Amino acid sequence: MGLADRLRKGLEKSREALNQIFYMGGEVDEQFWEDLEDTLVMGDIGPEVAMKVVDDLRELSARQALRTADQMREALAKRLAEAFPAADRDPFDDTPSCVIFVGINGAGKTTTVGKLAGAAREGGTSVLIGGADTFRAAAIEQLKVWGDRSGVEVVTRERGADPASVCYDVIESAEKQGSELVLLDTAGRLHTSPELMRELAKVVSVTRKRAQMPVTVVLVVDATTGQNGLNQAKEFNEALDLDGLIVTKLDGTSKGGIAVSIASRLELPIYRIGVGESMEDLQRFDALDFCRALVGESL
């Protein structure tokens, strides 16, 4: 299965709702616009973005005499794609680079780190993984499994060690070894806990001060959390000044529009999206390809 097919399959649940209004022969009338706005909102794109998108498409429809719903597919995909901020750089390609992964428990941080490490190693990049989640023994074990599988070294400490100290040691090891890409997995944090967020801010601060390479802070968001994912992102961004996002588990929800909502509201680029379980299902994010898959347009 090619990447385009994996993307389309992964967004199948989110696409089903939109497909109900893009049936062949449907007319672009007032009911169509109302249905489109409601569908976008229910898909967790958010009311503000949904209203702006529909207003812009109304104008486009009038200017270009677009009369059928099916004619609006590509226009909708292109307009939604405009809502995504573009990344200045890809921290996984533009090396040397250090990436700190943050997010709540269960978002998929550890698995994401493992997949990215494996892909980078296959591409010829020298990678070092840092296991800064010292509270959950399973996280370290999981990282070591990924490390063994992909031939990537995992640096960590005993359970309960200070996460910031672990990150310091990892950066030191990376410099000695000449590692091009450093991936730091942190413990899941409740965005509602100020104490835990302050500790995470310390991890980011220590890493930025110690590292001589660019440091990127990436929030891993579970798409199935819907609008709660937006609330999480706001809190993490306020505490850590995030650089970008990775959105996981898009194949498990009908609300893939949350990716649009978070990225546009916080003006943060999306670096990767997860549309399945395999390594190939963690894909580079392309806004137009994503939006075309979301609305059912050909990639």
pLDDT exceeds 80 at position 4: no
- 248 annotated as ligand-binding: yes
- 187 annotated as ligand-binding: yes
pLDDT exceeds 60 at position 289: yes
- 250 annotated as ligand-binding: yes
pLDDT in tens, 85-143: 999 999 999 999 999 999 998 899 999 999 999 999 999 999 999 999 887 778 888 88
- 249 annotated as ligand-binding: yes
- 105 annotated as ligand-binding: yes
Measure the CA angle with vertex 192, ends 191 and 197; round to 5°. Answer: 55
Binning the chain into helix, strand and coil, the percentages to the nearest 5 are: 55, 15, 30
- 118 annotated as ligand-binding: no
Question: What pTM was computed for the model?
Answer: 0.93
- 104 annotated as ligand-binding: yes
- 207 annotated as ligand-binding: no
* pLDDT band at 63; cut points 50, 70, 90: very high
Query: Which pLDDT score, from 0 to 100, does residue 191 have?
Result: 57
The mean per-residue pLDDT over the stretch 225-241 comes to: 91
The mean per-residue pLDDT over the stretch 181-200 comes to: 83
Query: Which pLDDT score, from 0 to 100, does residue 175 have?
Result: 95
- 284 annotated as ligand-binding: no
Cβ density class 124-146: b for 16+ within 10 Å, e for less:
ebbbbbbbbbbbeeebbebbbeb
The mean per-residue pLDDT over the stretch 251-257 comes to: 84
